[in-house]
Structure formats: structure tokens, C-alpha cells
Amino acid sequence: MTEAPPTMSEAGRGDADLMDKIVGLCKRRGFIFQSAEIYGGFRSTYDYGPLGVNVLRNVKNAWWRSMVQLRDDVVGIDAAILSPPAVWEASGHLESFTDPLVDCRSCQSRWRADKIDGVCPNCGGTDFTEARPFNLLFKTHAGPIEDEGAVAYLRPETAQGMFVNFLNVLQTTRKRPPFGIAQVGKSFRNEITPQNFVFRTREFEQMELEYFVPPAEAGTWFEYWLDARYRWYVELGIPERLLRVRHHTPDELSHYSAGTADIEFLFPWGWDELEGVANRTDYDLKAHAARSGEQLDFFDPATNQRYVPYVIEPAAGATRAMMAFLLAAYDEDVVAGEARTVLRLDHRLAPYQVAVLPLSRKEVLETMAREVLARLQPHFMCDYDVTQSIGRRYRRQDEVGTPWCVTVDFDSLDDQAVTVRDRDTTAQVRVPVESLLEELRVRAGC
């Protein structure tokens, strides 16, 4: 496990620099780019670059492994993003998924009523229209005619895909409560004020579990999942002092929830939501049963009773989780008298696990280095870098979180061994090429 990085306590002191450093690093090294940047960027959407896509995949795969692969009470699905109005009528989103908007009467600009302080941020005006609800669903049309019958919405959450498929899953898997349906995928919310880099964006990626339980067990499973999800972040390297659980007060609760707790992370701007764990009760299944006319419940042959399961939902954001992992991993220290930036990412999340570095561009070295690379690629995401001095290349790998550098030097040609350097300790050991894969597998615990 990664040690708690020393500088992280600064996040709690409102280290404004940390945010700038992460945003700068993400752009400079290819983690995250502004979308359509050559056209001036596009409305708070982001593209994940060569390193970012690796981290994002790792976050999602770690979640899937923990929530689906290692369990036999959870199955996955992958539902469509385009969905018909009926789903969002039943779920309540068409009616209630709104933010209050006002228009400034002086300059006609539009604002979220709860985010301005009585004065228009554009012109300083103080005369606003009445607040009215603005629906956050993205609307489009499917089919050749743009009429009401062709309206489709981009899903604002993956959760409804699980409720709508509840019967299908029950019938095809023979699961019975308690059991869960998991999904990872994109969702879309037409946020009025996207903010804080990839923390709140209109297009984002969710990792959601809907866990169906007998109603009497809802409280127990709520506590179970809250604990399990908190531990997931800790186990992947976020220090506990940067995490907390905050239970919602009754007036904060969503319309469907009998209880919600947020797992919060200490972002540079303060504590903010990383994941919500909610007791959604039988709200959704009942709503879809009523709207569709289907019987969305479970018959328990053991008790001879039919009931509508309660749902416990741990709902995480993949993109904001990635951001939290990067923030928590960011560190600056001094090695051999030289300052360096190092991302102390858990090796399972790092964009590359291994970098193979021939000491120079000499052909004999590159040939051997490429043989080493080919041995490791089936097992790890590997980088290969032959530019600049070896010291500079170590720094470059430290900065993006590569846990192990493998250096091929002139001695390697004689002793058929390479140097393995550890990112966190910078310790170097000589390892025979024959046992290199095994050595790295042991370090990675796989």
C-alpha cells in the first residue's frame, strides 16, 4: 500500500496551489485536456489523454473488480444512454430534476438563483425575474421526425437502467434478494454552473450499484455498503484524514431517499462529495411498476410472500474519484538534494506500472530494452522512453506515478540483468532479466 503522502495535510489548509498544480500537471503530461481545445474549448467538457485514460480505466476496473468480479451476489449491466420520456416520468426526473433559474432584468443573463448573491455577476444589476425551475435533462430526438413522439433524453444517472431491467435480471440470473446490479457508464446533466475542473461537468462517468434487499434488512445493508465503499477508497490509497462520512439531514434528502450519507473527500476547496450511499426504499420499483403496469417485485418461496425490495445505492463518480486519487497522491519531496514532484498513486491506478529505459540510444541497448519491454507488456501497462538523461527520465516517471522503472545499461549486455528503481523510496536493485517479471509481479501482488 502507498504511504500517506506527506504534503496531503495541506489540502485541509485550503492549498489553492495544489489545485493549480494538478490542473497544470494534467494538461502538461496528458492526463486531461479541455474538449475541443483547438476551438477554444467546449462548455466544461473534458477529454482524457493518454495517461488520463489509463488512470480512468484503472479506477473503473478496480470498482468493477471489487463490486462484480469478486462477488457472487452482484451482476453487471450496460444500459443505453438514450432513453424514452416514460422512464424519466416514472423516476420523477422530468418533474423534479431541476435547478432554480433567474434572469437579470438589466442584461438578460441567466443564473442559478441559489448561486448569486443578490447582484448579477455580469452587470451588477439587482433586479431579477422570479426563480423558475430549469430541468437538467439533456433532450434530443430519435428518428426522422422531430415531434414529441421522437423525444429522447440522455440519462442523468445510470441507476434507472437497473430498475427498468430488474425483472430481466431476476429472470435470467436466478438471483434473489439480497443481490445487486452494477453499472459503469456515462451520464449527462445540463448543469448551470459546472465547476472545479472535472469535479462537476455536464458529461461524466458513474459507477453505480443498486442492491435489492428485503425491506427489513435495508438498515443493515445501508451500513454495510457505506463501510465497504469507504474502505475501497482507503484501500486504494486515500489517507483517512482526507475522507469523512456525512449523513444528510432530513431536509437535504432526495425525493426517493429514506436516508443518505456522503463519502466526502477534502478537496482543495473544502469537503465535498465523492460518493453517495442512499436508501432509495421501494420508490423506484413501485414508480416503474405503476407507470408500466408490470409487477416489479419478488416472490420468496421460503416465506411464500411477495414483496417489493428496498434498494441500497452506492453511487460513485469515476471522474471525480480519479481527481481525488490524483490530489491525494500528489507530493513534492527532495531526492539526493534535488526537488521532485511525485504522484504516489497505488500501482493499480498508475497510468503505467513499468517504464523501460535504455540508458542511451545505442542500438544494442535499445534492442535489449525492447526485448525486456515485450516480456512485460502482456502483464503491465508499460512506457518506453529513450529521450534525455536517465535522471530526467526518472523525474518524468515519478511525476506521473510510475511505480517501477527498469533500466537497461551497458552492464546489462554482460550480466543479463537490469536495474529496478522504486518510485517512492528511489531504491535501486539489480535483477536478472530471467526473474524480472516474477520480481515485478511480487511487488504488484499479482
Q: Would you count residue 154 as binding a second copy (CB under 8 A)?
A: yes
Which residue's CB is nearer to a second copy, number 78 or number 363? 78
**3-state SS class at 1:** coil
Asked if omega into 178 is within 30° of 0 (cis), the reply is yes
Among 10, 17, 20, 37, binds a second copy (CB under 8 A): 37
Q: Would you count residue 355 as binding a second copy (CB under 8 A)?
A: no
- Alpha carbons 160 and 66: distance in angstroms, whole number: 22
Which residue's CB is nearer to a second copy, number 1 or number 142? 142
Write down the least CB distance from residue 43 to a second copy, Å.
5
Q: Would you count residue 148 as binding a second copy (CB under 8 A)?
A: no
Residue 207 corresponds to which cell in the numbers above?
Answer: 459507477
Contact set for a second copy, span 192-231 (CB under 8 A): 192, 202-203
Which residue's CB is nearer to a second copy, number 75 or number 94? 75
Spell out the residues 6+ positions from residue 37 whose beta carbon is closer than 8 angstroms to its own.
none
Q: With the CA atoms of 282, 288, 290 and 291 taken in that order, what torsion angle do they form, in degrees rounded to the nearest 10?
A: 160
Among 301, 361, 378, 427, binds a second copy (CB under 8 A): 378
Contact set for a second copy, span 42-61 (CB under 8 A): 42-43, 45-54, 56-57
Residue pair 311/282 in contact by the 8 Å Cβ criterion:
yes
State which amino acid sits at residue 396: R
Among 23, 113, 152, 258, binds a second copy (CB under 8 A): 152
Which residue's CB is nearer to a second copy, number 222 or number 404? 404
Cα 321 to the center of its chain, rounded Å: 4
Q: Would you count residue 124 as binding a second copy (CB under 8 A)?
A: no
For strands 354-358 and 382-384, give the pairing.
parallel
Among 30, 125, 214, 239, binds a second copy (CB under 8 A): 30
Question: Per CB under 8 A, which region of 124-132, 269-277, 377-385, 435-443 contacts a second copy?
Answer: 377-385
Residue pair 277/312 in contact by the 8 Å Cβ criterion:
yes
Write down the least CB distance from residue 210 to a second copy, Å.
13
Among 12, 133, 143, 215, binds a second copy (CB under 8 A): 143
Give the burial class of 161: count Cβ atoms within 10 A of its Cβ; 0-12 exposed, 13-18 middle, 19 or more buried.
Answer: buried
Contact set for a second copy, span 394-433 (CB under 8 A): none
Residue 195 corresponds to which cell in the numbers above?
Answer: 465547476
Binding marks (x or -) toward a second copy, 94..123, rule CB under 8 A? -------x--------x-------------
The DSSP-derived string for 283-347 is HHHHHHHHHH-----EEETTTTEEEPPEEEEEEEEHHHHHHHHHHHHEEEEEETTEEEEEE---T
Which residue's CB is nearer to a second copy, number 167 or number 242? 167
Question: Per CB under 8 A, which region of 25-33, 228-236, 249-257, 422-430 contacts a second copy?
Answer: 25-33
- Alpha carbons 397 and 358: distance in angstroms, whole number: 14
Among 9, 15, 23, 35, binds a second copy (CB under 8 A): 35
- Alpha carbons 160 and 79: distance in angstroms, whole number: 9
Which residue's CB is nearer to a second copy, number 30 or number 125? 30
Write down the least CB distance from residue 218 to a second copy, Å.
23
Nearest C-alpha neighbor of 327 from the set 349, 311, 357, 300: 349
Question: Per CB under 8 A, which region of 238-246, 264-272, 289-297, 429-437 contacts a second copy?
Answer: 289-297
Number of CB atoms found within 10 A of residue 65's CB: 12
Write down the least CB distance from residue 445 to a second copy, Å.
10
Residue pair 133/99 in contact by the 8 Å Cβ criterion:
yes
* CA 367 vs CA 62, 360, 375, 439: distances in Å: 34, 11, 13, 22
143: region left, alpha or beta (phi > 0 left; psi from -120 to 50 alpha): left
Write down the least CB distance from residue 394 to a second copy, Å.
16
Among 13, 291, 392, 430, binds a second copy (CB under 8 A): 291
Contact set for a second copy, span 164-193 (CB under 8 A): 164-165, 167-169, 172-174, 181, 186, 188, 190, 192
Write down the least CB distance from residue 425 to a second copy, Å.
27
